[in-house]
Amino acid sequence: MRVLDAIGGHGLVPVLTVDRAEDAGPAAEALMAGGLPCAEITFRTAAAKDAIELLAGNHPELLIGAGTVLTVDQARAAVDAGARFVATPGFDEAVVDWCLEHEVPVMPGVMTPTEAGAGMRKGLETLKFFPAETAGGVNALTALGAVYPGLRFMPTGGIEAGNLARYLALPNVVACGGSWPATRQLIAAGDVTEIERLTRQAVEIVRRVRDDER
């Protein structure tokens, strides 16, 4: 299965910020126990590459990506460590071109029609809409869908249990990204019970939306 299809099947990509690489394993296991075998490790900390490498080596069943990728060097390091997709906060043409050249699924961040059009011209079909709530949320995505019917989005930034369903109900949203099921604080504290509980709650929201769409 294509990586982006798998992301769409999950409906939610947990965004993990890890301060210690060894904390990634328990957090990922809690996500999987809650029914969500995917995670995006952000390059907001120095532990990101090692965390991806540990997860890729110990949990081949987990769909691992790299987020907050700002440079080609970070993209290369993430993929070398085992990341299967790359997400960026903004539209960085160099990172996008590198990923396309190396056949790495990439979701660059966009928040304007101009950036969405730039992604479309690169041949991309799925883009990250970031920061979602700040950039206009559901209303902005609805407007983008009217003029770019061929594009799909993964809104990230300000997504939580309370608004997840509204985003997922949009026809141009393939999945959402969110940090609330496994926050930086929960990961650092090793609170796998709470991570699993929040993940189960999120998975249930995704299921209800998908059932309503049938």
Catalytic residue among 22, 93, 103, 128: 128
Active site residue 49: no
CA 102 to mean position of chain CA atoms? 20
Is the CA virtual torsion 83, 88, 89, 94 positive or negative?
positive
Q: Are 65 and 13 in contact (CB under 8 A)?
A: yes
Distances (CA, A) of 197 to 32, 114, 175, 178, 185: 11, 39, 20, 15, 15
Q: Is 109 left (phi over 0), alpha (psi -120 to 50) or beta?
A: beta
Catalytic residue among 40, 49, 53, 196: 40
Active site residue 128: yes
Active site residues: 40, 128
